[in-house]
Amino acid sequence: MTVEIEGVTLHLAHPDEIPVRWVGQEEVMRQLLAAWLVVAPGDLPMNPRLVGKPGVGKTSLAYAAAKRLRREAYILQATVDTRPEDLLVTPVIEGEGRLRYVASPLVTAMVRGGVAILDEGNRMSEKSWASLAPLLDTRRYVESIVAGIKIKAHPEFRFVATMNDDASTFDLPEYIHSRLQPQILIDFPERDEEYAILRENVPYAEDYILEYVTDFLQQAHAADERYTVRDGINISRFAMKLLEADGAAGVEEALRVAVLETLGEEALRYVRRV
């Protein structure tokens, strides 16, 4: 799949296809979809950022929102090593003396009118963020120095960044901070929502396992631990696998081992007797 811009052929990325269904927490979904609305001539979609602890479902929310709009979703994982050309266009040697220009998932979303999800954006350096500054304001374009072209965003293009609320991230430069609005906070789900998320992701688990894991997570949340529903999914899956591998193993022991080996000994303080 290619497109020509200012005489340069760009090879586009493929959209992401992942089995995600957003369960519960409809208020944050409503806020994200509202931020992307265009409500009058001259209005533009906003560039929201989803902020929360690792594992609370920020990327899942962004992807599910894209699917509700029936748009292609493109996920780009940011790291401390992400360079401006990684965000935009990368040259690849193709044969003798020839370059092939490969568009990033973000640029592909811009061209095709899809949704770009910049995952863990606050792990990225200021230099990389600077390359996106004109995209995130009224100009809505990026300039690839490598390819020597300016790429304008399709009117249907939407952008969202996810950001972890932890100490392993960079502070956003102020000029980027003001471009990534609104900030939508995603917190731990309520008990019934957490159970529903576990049921959605581990549909083959017995109810007593999911109830146990839900209780474990809710007690951990109350103590301000950073254990998330992602951890709960892994505990549930591992417990089921332990029971399948050793039919003689008791449910209580399988769950205890699953918690211990997934999160460590400190997590055992939040388990209950079956």
**Which amino acid appears at position 163 of this protein?**
M
Are residue 80 and residue 139 in the same domain, yes or no? yes
Distances (CA, A) of 268 to 13, 191, 208, 243, 261: 44, 19, 18, 19, 10
Q: Do residues 227 and 143 share a domain?
A: no
**60 shares its domain with 164:** yes
Residues 165 and 262 placed together within one structural domain of the fold: no
Q: Which of these three, 185, 217, 236, is where a domain ends?
A: 185
CB 46 within 8 A of CB 160: no
Q: Are both 33 and 137 inside the same structural domain?
A: yes
Together in a domain, 162 and 218: no
274 — pLDDT class (breaks 50, 70, 90): low
Could you tell me if 179 and 206 lie in one domain? no
Query: Residue 95: pLDDT above 80?
Result: no
Are 43 and 171 a contacting pair, CB within 8 Å?
no
The encoded tokens of residue 71 equal 């748009």
Residue with tokens 């230099």: 127
Contacts for 4 with CB less than 8 Å, ≥ 6 apart: 10
246 vs 119, residue with greater confidence: 119
Please tell me whether residues 262 and 168 are part of one structural domain: no
| pLDDT(22) > 90 | no
Supply the pTM of this predicted model: 0.87
Do 103 and 26 lie in one domain? The reply is yes
| Residues 173/127, Cβ–Cβ less than 8 Å | no
| Residues 201 and 160 reside in one and the same domain | no
Report the number of distinct structural domains present in the chain.
Answer: 2
Q: What is the pLDDT of residue 171?
A: 78
Residues 126 and 47 in one domain: yes
pLDDT higher for 100 or 248? 100
pLDDT value for 226: 85
The residue segments making up the domain with residue 230 are 191-270
Residue that wins the pLDDT comparison between 188 and 65: 65
Instruction: Kindly state the tokens that stand for 216.
Output: 């474990």
Domain final residue pick, 185, 218, 239: 185
Q: Which DSSP state fits 93?
A: E
CATH number, position 109:
3.40.50.300
Q: What is the mean pLDDT of the chain?
A: 91
Residues 20 and 132 in one domain: yes
Nearest CA to 173 among 120, 128, 140, 137? Answer: 128
pLDDT tens digits, one per residue of 29-78 = 999 999 999 999 999 999 999 999 888 889 999 999 999 999 999 999 99
Among 185, 212, 231, the domain-final residue is 185
> What is the reported pLDDT for 120?
92
> What is the phi/psi pair of residue 191, to 5°?
-60, -50
Query: What does the pLDDT look like over 204-254, one tens digit per residue?
Result: 999 999 999 999 999 999 998 889 999 999 999 999 999 888 765 688 888
In three-state secondary structure terms, 160 is strand
